[in-house]
Structure 1
């Protein structure tokens, strides 16, 4: 009898559980008015009109006449299938779907908002078509009011719903996947926008708000670092994945382009609310940006530039490094593009500091190409000469110089810091501090009219990247690199107070503290306080240096665009003796604002790299007016 009662109780429990599982819930109830669903982990049956199809799922939305009229709850949801949806999930079909309510957060993005999904298990859950060819729910028209809270979850209430935007401004161009071996790219259709009328989003000082909110040490940070500022991550930025819907075509746009009448489904990814345009959408696109040549220096001026050439590998196998062996055709294309950029748009700077060059042979071939192209175009031969000393980088990329020997006389080129070590917390032995050790050029240039040599020193740098920045190892390495460089410059200033010094290159750091470190502040001699950053540095430089980016218009303070945020990684930092001769500074807009697809065209200069070159003009006379 006892066994029978147990069996009967089990049967009743299973029946009740199964009945509960099949109980239909409204999408708005599942979404709720918070970030996470109140029914997370439970099975549910939802009904809605299919509004979009992706490679691994589809979206459904409540018909307009059945919404709850609560602006805080979304009427749409993503149904995850794991593979391309069946024909039952055709756009316009009203369907009933069973599955498990989940809050999805990619493993690679622990500091990210979750996405409420209905997850279908093949063979267990069902999609039932109720009716076909239904009118799609009317899209919500986004306006500036929707972004007024400036909170990272301010669009949660539209998650999974159809939305429309009347006018957008592109703030980061269409991205793509690069094949270095062929110097080609394939568009991924992703770009970033803001509503027309909103300002372009920039990376600002402070710890990223996502890293802060999702940190296990949040309360400790709040207590120990009362002056710690936060970067709000620019929640007004929208990510557009133009070809994510099945059948949709990638949209290729530059920064500053204008887009009208974009309609699609609101999703979320990579810490950004993301619009997936309808497969049949035909938005109006205008105002595509074009590259503009820089002004040529006057006869009483000379120019210095910093260029990240992005994986500038040649077509010769070097067995000593792990490299991508570029095809001869691809290397020819890269030589052509970079040569044109330097000659026609940067006006052949007198000194160019380069980053990410494989070796001296590759840099020499670039110098030869610029020289021959100049002569073939009827221009004077700049007689560029290449200088590069191998460093410690595992991929074999190094810093180097292209020097216009027709005008500049080299006194010395010397690498320093190659043998410097640091205590790596993940290793037993000390490790190399400088993967790409700084390279110093001492040179003179003769000024027009007086024929007097003008002496100056350029130090080209490529500091540790931001990859792995969440780890103690990378943070310590970047901190010690900054202090090493600061001490080196200070020693030179102390030895010769009249030496004109400028540091250039990719510093992989912003011009302000990021809440973790203050790399540039340390190098300048104005480090952030111990209340402002987790790993402060001492003041090692006096007199202080000047980051030239701080002197120009705020709208131009960027050399790189990452996840929609314009930011500075490429700096020019001058001591007072050099700054007195500054006549102008800026960036040659050739890469960061242009789509990755432009890399494929050998007849245009844009997108030979992902960084914009930095360039400064100096006068032989002191106290020149700085032009932005």
Structure 2
């Protein structure tokens, strides 16, 4: 799988390898009843397999000078005094430490295989006996600024659980277990706190919260046991100048007897919502909020109801609706007039660290029903005219939470200003097929980048398509099944309900109280054109974590796609072939059972008797689903092409190039490109091979680049969102580009095909680095009409993740096709569409 465009702040479900994270995988993680799970931190299910790993012996050598002295992630949260998160360093040594090549890095407390570290580069030096303050992201709460930080970053730390590392170098760490982090010589000191999986010693430091940091004692003891070395207490940030260190000084007061309790504030709903993305009443008790119930969610782990004031104020920025979180089946019904008291909370679906929007809610509610059977407030109609073309304001990469909403200028602001309110859409084109979680995506802006088959095309980072909306349902499935729709269908009639935020949606979601009906748009799975006998056909197909224990129906459907829709290509590069026992993490790396089952299904479907070539990876070193050991594989039809077998290729030996002109060849076939380079850490290594077709040599390189896991979503409260995973893919692209350039220098007439799941877009820095802007390789997707440039649909955006690239010697002798058989359909065999090129060597 692959991660979504920019969406990838969302951890992939266990087993994703690549998007979103787009998106790892662009497919969202499983969630109970399609909704938010409030008990466990987001992503913890994917981290369970890591929790039992012991601490590596490398942590037995404590730092002799610089250490992490204090960690505080509660800055700006409810109850906090300080406005920012911070990390404080200290130096117990006798000499200053130059920090110009160091960074502070942060990892979530429950990392998955695709989790990414976030880094803040440091500058200056840490004096002997001195302190050094690193300020991180600000929240909306708190009253006291930090002492002037010595370095600043934009990391949004969790208040209660996470891992901080002092790292030599600024490249992001790749470890997600305590053992692997201990083995990384770049880690100078590491502190896990709360329930962090990655920590030193017997356990993480305990007690971190919105109001408490974890800190070493004055002696800076470092036994490499976080639980023993750190204690919780009031935050005491101190910078290199010696400012701070004792916490904010409270004004002198008489010893309190019993602090007075402030009475709940009497408020209207629009007072609670305010004119920004977060409530001015966050964490405060309120009472007297009145309105009409517009929707009831009586299932899942986020049960509650929406109610709306039928008497709005004159400010378009302030929503008149809000969600009341009951935690159990609500006792109200749509149309009830209610008065609600409770505590206001800005809830971040998925947690604060993933960067999504906050949802303002009333928690711990006391609900009084005044009357029943009242008309629901008239819905706000969302259409092409109402929704702005521009998606989100920019804050230079910072948070937009504190900015006053501008609903007439930005779609994300409009949706935030309507959060919790009754909204309606008319007949709308489906741009994201119904998924297994009973949700689909529509567009209310039908002229916004339409594809040829009815989707919405993702054309660039600055064009995330503001008309996209997710549709979910509040209607019990016992009453009416959720509609099954493909891209290009129409959700006909009106769909009405409260507007909610969903971290899996990439925008906001209508919680439908009434649902339209589906009218077919008529698309069908494509069949590629037939090749001439003189053309070699080469395809790529991400088969989504294929393992022997998958249902036979999946193997049969993949076989049908290859035989019928792709017309039995001569060579197929497959991505996400798992080992013989799938996700069982027991050291097995061979995949012959997976491939035997697939090739047998292909033959049974009337296809050729494919042979295969691949290289087993080192166990658990290529990313993806833990234990799955996914890899790229070549299938080939020996009746049409010959594979040039050349010994020497294995998991850790780099393939090279020898000879000149017609004598140019790979040192091993198959062979891996630079498998030991850090660019390929926890990622699939490119597989290079030689084939011959009618006596002509073909060099083919199969790829599955690093996932988009850890990227902030396009709907992030940080704008523009940070694409942190891009750094590794650019390094991978440059390595492969240099390999191809060397091959083409040895033989300027070499026929080279580079293909696979690059987990990035045709306009991305990674892909343009690989092609050298078309000088070294031609990205064939750019030769298609603009409206046909996609192979994947995520969050209602049709986009490119899979590519076929060819050398300049070939680009005028090819026919290229993306064969749409999966991404636009509710019934999918994989979440990727395959691609094929027909060429004459």
User: Structure 2-normalised TM-score?
Assistant: 0.56
How many pairs does the alignment contain?
Answer: 502
In the aligned structure 2, how far is the partner of 1:559 from the partner of 1:113? 28
**1:591 corresponding residue in structure 2:** 822
Aligned counterpart for 1:547 among listed residues 779, 784, 795? 779
Change (3 A) 1:80 1:554: same
In the aligned structure 2, how far is the partner of 1:108 from the partner of 1:571? 34
**1:90 corresponding residue in structure 2:** 333
**1:217 corresponding residue in structure 2:** none
In the aligned structure 2, how far is the partner of 1:333 from the partner of 1:564? 27
- Deviation (angstroms), 1:309: 0.7
Structure 1: unaligned runs, 5 residues or longer = 1-5, 176-186, 207-230, 316-325, 375-380, 425-431, 447-452, 527-541, 599-606, 621-628
Q: Is the contact made by 1:502 and 1:574 (CA closer than 8 Å) also made in structure 2? A: yes
Change (3 A) 1:259 1:475: closer
**1:76 corresponding residue in structure 2:** 321
Q: Is the contact made by 2:562 and 2:568 (CA closer than 8 Å) also made in structure 1? A: yes
**2:239 corresponding residue in structure 1:** none
- Deviation (angstroms), 1:58: 0.6
- Deviation (angstroms), 1:295: 1.7
In the aligned structure 2, how far is the partner of 1:473 from the partner of 1:412? 38
1:166-565 to structure 2, matched below 5 A, reads: 166-175=426-435, 187-195=436-444, 197-199=446-448, 200=450, 201-206=456-461, 231-242=462-473, 249-260=481-492, 261-270=494-503, 271-278=506-513, 280-287=514-521, 289-315=523-549, 326=550, 330=551, 332-358=552-578, 359-374=591-606, 382-392=608-618, 393=622, 395-412=628-645, 414-417=669-672, 420-423=675-678, 433=681, 435-446=683-694, 453-469=695-711, 476-513=727-764, 518-526=765-773, 543-565=775-797
Q: What secondary structure, in the 3-state scheme, does the structure 2 residue paired with 1:342 have? A: helix
In the aligned structure 2, how far is the partner of 1:61 from the partner of 1:473? 39
**Is 1:118 aligned to 2:362, yes or no?**
yes
Change (3 A) 1:273 1:341: same
- Deviation (angstroms), 1:288: 5.2
Change (3 A) 1:482 1:472: same
Q: Is the contact made by 1:167 and 1:196 (CA closer than 8 Å) also made in structure 2? A: no
Q: What secondary structure, in the 3-state scheme, does the structure 2 residue paired with 1:576 have? A: coil
Q: Is the contact made by 1:174 and 1:191 (CA closer than 8 Å) also made in structure 2? A: yes
Aligned counterpart for 1:61 among listed residues 297, 308, 321? 308
Change (3 A) 1:465 1:9: closer
RMSD: 2.8
Change (3 A) 1:498 1:9: closer
The C-alpha deviation readout for 1:330-387, integer Å capped at 9, x for no partner, is: 1x2122111111111111111111111122332233223222321xxxxxx6332222
In the aligned structure 2, how far is the partner of 1:434 from the partner of 1:272? 30
In the aligned structure 2, how far is the partner of 1:550 from the partner of 1:354? 22
In the aligned structure 2, how far is the partner of 1:303 from the partner of 1:615? 7
Whose helix fraction is larger, Structure 1's or Structure 2's?
Answer: 1
Q: Is the contact made by 1:559 and 1:569 (CA closer than 8 Å) also made in structure 2? A: yes
Change (3 A) 1:110 1:463: closer
Change (3 A) 1:236 1:472: closer
Q: What secondary structure, in the 3-state scheme, does the structure 2 residue paired with 1:146 have? A: coil
Deviates more, 1:346-355 or 1:555-564: 555-564
In the aligned structure 2, how far is the partner of 1:335 from the partner of 1:149? 43
